[in-house]
Amino acid sequence: MNFRNFKLNLSNKNKDLIPQILTVLFLILVVIYFTINAQSNMGNRGISFGFGFLSQESSFDITFSLIDYDGSHTYARAFLVGLLNTILVSAIGIFFATILGVTIGIARLSQNYLVAKSAEWYVEIFRNIPLILQIFFWYFAALRALPLTVDSINFYDISFLNVKGWYVPKFVWTNFSIFFYSIIFAFISIYFLAKYAQKQRDKFGKQIPTLYISILLIIGLPFLTFLIGGVSLSFEIPELTQLSKTVYVYQGGVSIIPELISLALALSMYTATFIAENVRAGILGVSKGQKEAAASIGLTKGQILKLVVMPQALRIIIPPTTNQYLNLTKNSSLAAAIAYPDIVLVFAGTALMQTGRAIEIISITMLTYLSLSLSISVFMNWYNKKMAIKEK
């Protein structure tokens, strides 16, 4: 009877809201339903559910870890080792992919025919071959091409490259923390110096040579700790040891395993092609008039690129490049194929196998990748905002 009135009372806004709330409620119900369903199924099959295994002893060893680890540590610790290895290879990959990508991207726009064509060929070849094949190629090509330990490639008797890895000297510090704090202190001083210099310039037009003072601070302060802080540094150089008639190994020093080298190489060379295309698009996206105007006031080619084109191009380059960084991080999970102990191999591989806790481990791994990706995303969005045109 009052139906018509009731309908009229609903504002447009509420009408839209009700289906949305119901949809959300429904989605929550679906998740709960599937959780209960999975639990009862697992119960029927005699599989228990829980995260207690994380504190159990893992009893397997890992080739390469940034923190202290062996099989007597827990599964949680093994997870951390895998996570750090994933972050390490992603960071190295992103670093080199960016340098290589920017170089190739600029090279593609070069006036020099040979440079432009080589860059184009590079992009077309490396972005059109599946990444997993490239990883296998670099790994097995490297293994086949590198010499055995006893015939290592020798870099000035301090560093050695062979099929078992790249051995570099290890830094042995005493009182490292003092040295470390001195660097942090230097950076803080530079920050305040820059603020002070800016104030002086704005208020009184006085120029303070911040660059020279900064360099002095960043070199001088840590150097002082060597003289008076009791800090010292020595090198542990890898040494060739014979294990049996034909088996040799370098001991001491730091070993960079071939799995890491080839994975980082493959990831950065592959991702660099996409970044190069972003850079090219960004530069071409800056209108020609800008370059001509810059040239007409007498800027050199380098200055035009650095001062006029790049600041504008970056706005176009950053968002799609963020995607590439995310892709690289996720692609690093292919590491498992060549025995690089990343989170997929260590945690979603060995740990999953030993414990049989598929649901728990896969959800932890998925959440980890999600948070990694979101962190990169947040950082890149912050950087993008910083680079965006500030309208006054």
Q: Which residues bind another protein (CB under 8 A)?
A: 7, 15-16, 18-19, 22-23, 26, 30, 33-34, 37, 40-42, 44-48, 59-63, 71, 140, 143-144, 148, 163-164, 241, 243-247, 249, 251, 258-259, 336-339, 341, 345, 349-350, 352-354, 356, 358
CB nearer to another protein: pick between 163 and 190: 163
User: Residues 156, 235: contact at Cβ < 8 Å?
Assistant: no
User: Residues 250, 240: contact at Cβ < 8 Å?
Assistant: yes
Tokens found for residue 318: 């950053």
Q: How far apart are CA 112 and CA 109, in angstroms?
A: 9
- Closest CB 335 distance from another protein, rounded Å: 10
CB nearer to another protein: pick between 107 and 345: 345
DSSP secondary structure string, 335-380? GGGGT---HHHIIIIIIHHHH--HHHHHHHHHHHHHHHHHHHHHHH
For the CA atoms of the chain, what is the radius of gyration? 28
Tokens found for residue 72: 């007597």
- Closest CB 125 distance from another protein, rounded Å: 24
Which residues face 234 on adjacent strands?
172
Q: What is the identity of the amino acid at 254? A: V
- Closest CB 172 distance from another protein, rounded Å: 19
CB nearer to another protein: pick between 12 and 111: 12
- Closest CB 222 distance from another protein, rounded Å: 34
Q: What are phi and psi of 254, to 5 degrees?
A: -115, 135
CB nearer to another protein: pick between 164 and 280: 164
CB nearer to another protein: pick between 59 and 287: 59
Q: What is the identity of the amino acid at 68? A: D
CB count in 10 Å sphere of residue 259: 25
Tokens found for residue 353: 């196998």
Q: Round to the nearest angstrom and report the end-to-end CA distance of the chain.
A: 58
Measured CA angle at 101 (ends 318, 384), to 5 deg: 10
- Closest CB 26 distance from another protein, rounded Å: 6
- Closest CB 155 distance from another protein, rounded Å: 20
CB nearer to another protein: pick between 2 and 246: 246
User: Residues 241, 249: contact at Cβ < 8 Å?
Assistant: yes
- Closest CB 196 distance from another protein, rounded Å: 53
Q: What are phi and psi of 276, to 5 degrees?
A: -60, -45
- Closest CB 269 distance from another protein, rounded Å: 21
CB nearer to another protein: pick between 27 and 99: 27
CB nearer to another protein: pick between 25 and 224: 25
